[in-house]
Structures are given as C-alpha cells and as structure tokens.
C-alpha cells in the first residue's frame, strides 16, 4: 500500500462493467523474493522504478469455496511502500504502463476507500491504517 497525504494509491482492473480496485502488486516469479517481486510489479503496473518496500503489514487469504470452479487459493501479503514522489506515478484512465490489465491508476482519499469495490475486501483496514499498527491476519476473505 502506498499512501501520500491521506490518499491511497489504487489500480483498477477487471471486465467492463465489473471494475475491481486493488492495491498495486502481483505474483511472485520463480527465483524472486516477495520484495523483489513487488518492486518489479510496481515498475510494471505504475511505471515507478524507485520504491522503498517496508515491512509487511497484513496477510489475507482468498480461498474459493469448494463450489466455485476456479479452485483458487491466493495469499495477499500487504506491504507498506514508499515512493520518492507521488508525481513519479502517472495516474488516470488507460495509463501508459507495461501491465495491460491496469485500466486506471488513482489516488483515493482515505474517506473514499470504502466506496470502491476493493479486492481483497479490506477497505475498512486500509481506511483505518496508520503507520506502526500491528501486523493484521485476516484469514479467508473470498470475493468472486
């Protein structure tokens, strides 16, 4: 999660009519540590080459119910990340970034985080987050 002056950076992905807002990030490639993968994903999704990855803040599991065809079990590790300047990140719809799944990048005011369809569904945690909070484990928060 990247905060700047009470605003959180979110990316929008998803099918037309079904937007899904999420923290920037992504998967770990073979041979990568989580922090190296996060730095790479932020370059791909945000075009931001210089980031400082801090400590992990939260862990969320997205476990599909047995009845769901995907059979997915994703583990989301939330890190606090610092960027040198919010101006280093181009925001707006259809940003010019490597990751074509990213449809929009937006700074969202803390009080507006709850208004977006966030995945995983941790908007309440993000809205109330303050640096120095204890690590939070959410368990399974499935959202199709």
Domain boundaries, the chain: 3-53+85-134
Can you give the pLDDT at residue 123?
Answer: 93
Q: What is the pLDDT of residues 77-134, one digit of tens each?
A: 999 988 877 877 877 777 777 777 888 899 999 999 999 989 999 999 999 998 888 8
35 φ/ψ angles, rounded to the nearest 5 degrees? -70, -35
Who wins on pLDDT, 69 or 34?
A: 34
Pairing of strands 52-63, 136-140: parallel
Question: For residue range 12-66, what is the model confidence (pLDDT) as tens digits?
Answer: 987 777 778 999 998 999 999 999 999 898 888 888 877 888 889 999 998 888 8
Model pLDDT, residue 21:
93
pLDDT of residue 144: 64
Q: How far apart are CA 82 and CA 42, in angstroms?
A: 11
Query: What pLDDT sits at residue 55?
Result: 84
Find tokens 């937006």 and name the residue: 106
Q: Is 132 left (phi over 0), alpha (psi -120 to 50) or beta?
A: left
Q: Is pLDDT above 80 for 138?
A: yes
Enter the CATH code of domain 3-53+85-134: 3.90.79.10
pLDDT at 140 over 80: yes
């Amino acid at each position: 999660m990247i905060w700047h002056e009470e605003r959180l950076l979110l990316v929008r992905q998803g099918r037309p009519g079904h937007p899904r807002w999420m923290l920037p990030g992504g998967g770990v490639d073979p041979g990568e540590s989580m922090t190296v993968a996060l730095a790479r994903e932020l370059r791909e999704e945000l075009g931001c080459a210089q980031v400082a990855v801090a400590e992990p803040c939260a862990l969320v599991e997205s476990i599909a119910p047995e009845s769901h065809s995907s059979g997915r079990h994703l583990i989301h590790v939330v890190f606090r990340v610092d960027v040198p300047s919010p101006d280093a990140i181009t925001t707006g719809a259809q940003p010019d970034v490597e990751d074509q799944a990213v449809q929009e990048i937006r700074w969202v005011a803390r009080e507006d985080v709850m208004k977006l369809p966030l995945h995983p569904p941790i908007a309440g945690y993000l809205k109330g987050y303050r640096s120095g909070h204890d690590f939070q484990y959410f368990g399974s928060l499935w959202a199709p």
